[in-house]
Amino acid sequence: MAEREEGLKKIKEEVLNLSVSPLYAERVKNKYFPVIGEGSHSAAIMFVGEAPGENEAKTGRPFCGRAGKLLDSLLDSAGIKREDVYITNIVKDRPPKNRDPLPDEIAIYAPFLDRQIELIKPKVIATLGRFSMQYVMNRYGLEFELDSISKLHGQIFSADKFKVVPLYHPAAAIYNQQLLSTLKEDFKVLITLS
């Protein structure tokens, strides 16, 4: 347990000082925080989003804005406590104007996510959105299964050491209310795995 705590602390320090990141200057200019992750360090379920939004960058907490409130309600609907899971993103700093993360940004931050996964050892990684789905599936030997998120959401894939469940990003249901019932159904899948 001490090794896990030390490892996660080291990741936090490294991301805080990641001045080579193309997003670092933006963080400093806007007085933002990097969003490392939060939750149980021995979580069975790890949620991986894409990149922090403005609310997240202002607080340093993942999923604390509108999408976060929706994530909380989806967790509740599935009987999962937020404090029992670990929530993070691939990219740890906010891209300007909430644009999609760029390939070089994903490349610079992804090794931190890999280390978080290695330390926490979740049984399930629930990807939130297409960027995290593509990264996790490519990284962990499931590239042959890749398709659009509209085809893969809610399905269970077996990687070497954990299951992967692609999910729509909660923000998608803010803009398309019809996705909310789909997300609720997909979250029920997580209960069967944890």
Q: What is the pLDDT of residue 194?
A: 67
Q: pLDDT tens digits for 104-139?
A: 999 999 999 999 999 999 999 999 999 999 999 999
Q: What is the pLDDT of residue 113?
A: 98
Residue 87: which domain range? 2-193
As given in the structure block, the two tokens for residue 118 are 């290695």
Q: Which CATH number do you get for residue 36? A: 3.40.470.10
Instruction: Please report the beta strands in the chain, taking only residues with DSSP state E, as ranges in sequence order.
Output: 38-39, 45-49, 86-89, 124-128, 157-158, 163-167
- CA separation for the pair 163, 156 (Å, rounded): 6
The residue ranges of the chain whose pLDDT is under 50 are none
- CA separation for the pair 89, 110 (Å, rounded): 9
Residue with tokens 């077996």: 158
- Provide the domain count of the chain: 1
